[in-house]
Every structure is written in C-alpha cells, then in structure tokens.
Structure 1
Amino acid sequence: MAALAPVPAHREPGDRGRLRIADRVYARIAARAAREALADAWHGRTARGGPPKVSVGGPAHPGAPITVRVSVDLPFPSDLATLGRAVRDRITTDTRTLTGTRVAEVVVVIEHLLPEPAR
C-alpha cells in the first residue's frame, strides 16, 4: 500500500507569487475617477470638456507607489483649485481602494477652460 503524501501547508500570499497591474489599468481607473470628480461641475452646462488624458509612471518594483499625470478641461468660471484637488483626491482614493497601490503624486494639468456659450 502506498503512503499518503503530506498535505502542503498553506503559504503566505507573497510566497505564492505576485500580482502585476498594467499601467493602462491604473490609467483607466484614474480617467474614470477624474470624470466622476468633475461630474457635478459640468452638470447643467451645454459646453462639455473632452475626456481626461492620463499617463502613469508605473511602480519601479512591486509594492512601490505610482505617479499619475492627468490633463482635464474645466468649466469656466469655477473654483479651479477646488476642482483640481477633487480630481487628485478621487484618483488617489480610487486607485488605493481598487488596486491596493499607493499613489505618490497626482499632477493635474488644466488643458482648457470652457465658458458657457452665450444664448
């Protein structure tokens, strides 16, 4: 009769392998977060800004923080600093929540200010 092989002990998650998240995934999360952060600012306006343009500086090694650069269009007049802060905070929170990755820096670039057209 053959002897039974011992059941392998459960290993810690870090010992079983690692997860690599592609930069395009971070970019999609950041773009969605920026759109959601600005949704109220655009509400009720006929003029609309273009979609956010995002680039991501991926982690140098697993577990390292990322850097995000996002270009957005904003309505004018509006509180630009508050809207920029809302975009930055939403990207940081959503990225951390959805991927567990820390965001070292979010650079928000305002590409265009779009006034409401005269009626």
Structure 2
Amino acid sequence: MTAETGGVRPPADLVPPGERGSLRIADRVVAKIAAQAAREALPPPPADAAAPHATVVVHRESARVRIHLELGYPCDVGARCAAVRRQVTERVGVLADLEVPEVAVRVERLHLAPHGRA
C-alpha cells in the first residue's frame, strides 16, 4: 500500500512478475538434478554398477550436495570426482538457480575391469 494508490493495492497484472510470489524447489528435485549431472560427468558405468544418487539440503539460496557413486577401476578417481563436482555445481546452479558451496562425492564401490580391458 502506498500513498500514490491511496492505500489500495494495484491489480495483479500491474505487479512485476518477480514480486508476485516465490518459488521453492523441493530438495528431492534438486537431488534428481544433481544425480543426473553426476551421470553426465562420468563415462558409462560398469554393467553391475548402481547409478549415481544424491542427497541434498537446500537452505535459502544454496544447496549442499552429497553424491554417492560407483566407478570402474582402474581410473583416475580424483579426476572423476572433480569432474562430478564441477558438473553438479554448474547444472544445479543453472537449472535450480541455487548456489552450491559444497559437493561431497562418496565413492561407494570400485568395479574392476574384466581382465585384458582397462
């Protein structure tokens, strides 16, 4: 209510869209975005590996993410984890408009490559 409008609220179509309400994206939706981003950052998993999954805590404008994944071995585990962190941070930032100050990657299992394949 303002002095210009005489204490009357302007009609909804005159209120800028960014001021009409708010949007909250559920933690489980952000977790699905993060898990998909982790899949995008990794090569195809071994046949018996579980797909990456994520848990997320969203607080205000930021999301703390934990990614659980399985990798083929041998591989550069550190480089793969770094790639996952970068991809998750970028995709959650773009798709959910959230800052991602922390992405913790937990490698649950390493799958040995069949003999003769590395």
TM-score bin, normalised by smaller chain: 0.7 to 0.9
Matched with 1:76 is: 73
The answer as to 2:51 corresponding to 1:55 is: no
For the 8 Å contact 1:47–1:116, the answer to whether it is kept is: no
- TM-score relative to the length of structure 1: 0.79
- What is the aligned residue count? 106
Aligned residue runs from structure 1 range 27-106, under 5 A:
27-39=31-43, 42=44, 47-59=47-59, 61=60, 64-106=61-103
- TM-score relative to the length of structure 2: 0.79
Identity %: 40
| Structure 1 segments of 4+ aligned residues over 4 angstroms from their partners | none
Report the alpha carbon displacement of residue 104 of structure 1 after superposing the two structures with TM: 1.5
Q: Which has the higher contact order (CA 8 A, sep 6+)?
A: 1
Instruction: Please list every run of 5 or more consecutive structure 2 residues that lacks an aligned counterpart in the other structure.
Output: 1-9
Instruction: Please list every run of 5 or more consecutive structure 1 residues that lacks an aligned counterpart in the other structure.
Output: 1-6
Query: What is the Cα-based RMSD across aligned positions, in Å?
Result: 2.0
Report the alpha carbon displacement of residue 118 of structure 1 after superposing the two structures with TM: 2.6
